[in-house]
């Protein structure tokens, strides 16, 4: 291997580790840093959303990392910062219990009546919004629950203008919290103000049916970044913790780095093509490197002839179509050899391919890019506790 800029400076202690031929480095220090920034910005405790296996990066390691101090001495976040972790299914909650997490787990996705018993068994705090499920939950064990109010997302919860019939259910088994969710907190439009107003109106019409101690919450990462400390009791950041929040002034760090070693190299003559469909043609004598990452790993096919990888600190364009298991890069101008590491997402030396940039090139959202990274790529946790 030639002198490599990989890995980036903060993790240079890892440079002697010989990795599998393609993998993801997950920088837990960066995740801790991002969570602390969002918490400082919001000024209230967080439900840290770790649904979909921690946005694809690994829910259990993220929970461990946020609770514990880092090797470098950076403190964990503590209970005053993290009120709960947010999951999307009973199964995700069960997996975290099996991994040893005993604290609060909150689920924002509606559950079917037949799931409530299992939810109670794993100690999940559900979002409810029908009289029948609230009554069932009360019968099962009088455990905490949150009232979900739909203020315009049209996805989950009771309509803001139809809450009054729930008053008697709330009086019988009052919710611990009440929340709504914004559909466009990341857009500089008026919709968030409208949803805020609808939410406030619904709370007003519920009046004394909500206990005075009821915890009100609404803000996702984009809303936190946009208005800092709101008047709410909790916030619910997700994507910001994972460093992929668009248009934010917060100095979030990139925690995810997709890397692969060069497994083949060839020289092409003028006129020769690369990959399925022959969609890339050498216009000058060219050197092509193959890395063992493809769309089956979540490296999107749309990045064909569009994306790039970073090799020894230099961007190298994807040449031809991304295939299922392999991607080719034009490395004509970068001396390299078999086994050298290419960074397809994340940081190498001075260059960072952010999740937002790569997602935009792939024509998907950052959420979709992260949660689409497949399990064939082993996750390596840097800064683990
Ligand atoms: C996923 C989710 C969040 C987090 O949203 P981000 O945009 O990732 O910060 C917050 N609340 C609910 C209900 C969610 O489903």
Which run of H or E residues covers position 356? helix 355-361
Least confidently predicted of 165-174, 221-230, 317-326: 221-230
Asked if the model's pLDDT at residue 351 lies above 80, the reply is yes
Q: Quote the pLDDT of residue 14.
A: 45
Q: How far is the CA of 237 from the centre of ligand 1 (A)?
A: 6
Own/partner contacts of 324-327, CB < 8 Å, gap of 24 or more, are: 324/294, 324/295, 324/296, 325/292, 325/293, 325/294, 325/296, 325/297, 326/263, 326/290, 326/291, 326/292, 326/293, 326/294, 327/290, 327/291, 327/293, 327/294, 327/299, 327/303
Q: How far is the CA of 186 from the centre of ligand 1 (A)?
A: 12
Q: Quote the pLDDT of residue 344.
A: 98
Give catalytic residue positions: 51, 276
Q: What global pTM score does this model have?
A: 0.94
Identify which of 50, 55, 57, 86 to mutate to test ligand 1's pocket (most ligand atoms within 8 A of the CB). Answer: 86
Q: Quote the pLDDT of residue 246.
A: 92
Average of per-residue pLDDT across 327-351? 97
Least confidently predicted of 35-39, 61-65, 141-145, 231-235: 231-235
Question: Residue 117: left if φ>0, alpha if ψ -120 to 50, beta else—which one?
Answer: alpha
Q: Is the CB of 226 under 6 A from ligand 1?
A: no
Q: Is the CB of 49 under 6 A from ligand 1?
A: yes
How far is residue 318's CA from residue 353's CA, in Å, rounded to a whole number? Answer: 13
Q: Is the CB of 202 under 6 A from ligand 1?
A: no
Q: Is the CB of 46 under 6 A from ligand 1?
A: no
Atom 14 of ligand 1: nearest residue by CA position: 108
Of the chain, the percentage scoring pLDDT greater than 70 comes to 93
If you compute the radius of gyration of the chain from its CA atoms, what whole number of angstroms results? 24
Q: Is the CB of 239 under 6 A from ligand 1?
A: yes
Asked if the model's pLDDT at residue 210 lies above 50, the reply is yes
Tens of pLDDT, residues 26-84: 999 999 999 999 999 999 999 999 999 999 999 999 999 998 766 666 667 877 899 99
Q: Is the CB of 370 under 6 A from ligand 1?
A: no
Q: Quote the pLDDT of residue 257.
A: 98
Asked if the model's pLDDT at residue 153 lies above 60, the reply is yes
Asked whether the CA dihedral 353, 356, 358, 361 is positive or negative, the reply is negative
Of the chain, the percentage scoring pLDDT greater than 90 comes to 88
Q: Quote the pLDDT of residue 189.
A: 87
Tens of pLDDT, residues 85-119: 999 999 999 999 999 999 999 999 999 999 999 99
Q: Is the CB of 57 under 6 A from ligand 1?
A: no
Identify which of 41, 49, 127 to mutate to test ligand 1's pocket (most ligand atoms within 8 A of the CB). Answer: 49
Instruction: Give the model's confidence band at 4: pLDDT under 50 very low, under 70 low, under 90 confident, else very high.
Output: very low
Identify which of 223, 234, 238, 239 to mutate to test ligand 1's pocket (most ligand atoms within 8 A of the CB). Answer: 238
Instruction: Give the model's confidence band at 8: pLDDT under 50 very low, under 70 low, under 90 confident, else very high.
Output: very low
Atom 15 of ligand 1: nearest residue by CA position: 108
Atom 6 of ligand 1: nearest residue by CA position: 238
Asked if the model's pLDDT at residue 311 lies above 80, the reply is yes
Q: Quote the pLDDT of residue 229.
A: 73
Q: Are 138 and 173 in contact (CB under 8 A)?
A: yes
Between 234 and 5, the higher pLDDT residue: 234
Q: How far is the CA of 107 from the centre of ligand 1 (A)?
A: 11
Which run of H or E residues covers position 287? strand 286-291
Q: Quote the pLDDT of residue 19.
A: 78
Asked if the model's pLDDT at residue 385 lies above 70, the reply is no
Q: How far is the CA of 227 from the centre of ligand 1 (A)?
A: 16
Q: Work out the number of other CB atoms within 10 angstroms of the CB of residue 141.
A: 10
Q: Quote the pLDDT of residue 69.
A: 62
In ligand 1, which atom is closest to the CA atom of 179?
13
Mean pLDDT of the chain: 93
How far is residue 118's CA from residue 128's CA, in Å, rounded to a whole number? Answer: 15
């Amino acid at each position: 291997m030639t002198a490599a800029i990989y890995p980036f400076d903060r993790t240079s202690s890892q440079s002697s580790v010989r990795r599998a031929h393609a993998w993801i480095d997950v920088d837990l220090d960066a995740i801790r840093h991002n969570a602390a920034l969002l918490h400082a910005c919001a000024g209230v405790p967080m439900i840290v959303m770790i649904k979909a296996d921690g946005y694809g990066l690994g829910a259990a390691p993220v929970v461990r990392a946020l609770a514990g101090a880092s090797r470098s001495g950076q403190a964990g976040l503590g209970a005053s910062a993290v009120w709960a972790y947010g999951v999307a299914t009973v199964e995700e909650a069960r997996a975290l219990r099996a991994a040893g997490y005993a604290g609060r787990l909150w689920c924002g996705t509606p559950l079917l009546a037949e799931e409530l018993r299992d939810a109670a068994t794993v100690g999940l705090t559900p979002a409810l919004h029908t009289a029948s499920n609230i009554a069932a939950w009360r019968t099962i064990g009088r455990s905490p629950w949150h009232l979900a109010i739909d203020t315009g997302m049209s996805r989950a919860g009771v309509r803001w203008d139809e809450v009054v019939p729930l008053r008697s259910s709330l009086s019988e088994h009052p919710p611990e919290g009440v929340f709504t969710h914004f559909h466009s907190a990341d857009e500089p439009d008026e919709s968030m103000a409208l949803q805020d107003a609808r939410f406030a109106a619904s709370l007003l019409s519920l009046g004394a049916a909500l206990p005075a101690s009821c915890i009100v919450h609404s803000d996702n990462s984009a809303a936190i970044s946009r208005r800092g400390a709101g008047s709410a009791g909790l916030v619910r950041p997700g994507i910001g913790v994972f460093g992929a929040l668009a248009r934010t002034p917060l100095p979030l760090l990139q925690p995810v780095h997709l890397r692969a070693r060069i497994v083949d190299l060839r020289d092409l003559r003028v006129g020769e093509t690369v990959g399925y469909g022959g969609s890339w043609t050498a216009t000058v004598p060219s050197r092509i490197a193959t890395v063992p990452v493809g769309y089956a790993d979540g490296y999107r096919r749309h990045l064909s002839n569009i994306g790039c990888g970073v090799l020894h600190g230099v961007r190298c364009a994807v040449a031809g179509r991304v295939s299922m298991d392999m991607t080719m890069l034009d490395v004509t101008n970068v001396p390299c050899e078999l086994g050298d590491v290419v960074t397809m997402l994340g940081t190498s030396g001075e260059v960072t391919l952010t999740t937002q940039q790569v997602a935009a090139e792939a024509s998907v959202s950052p959420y979709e890019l992260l949660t689409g990274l497949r399990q064939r790529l082993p996750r390596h946790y840097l800064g683990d506790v």
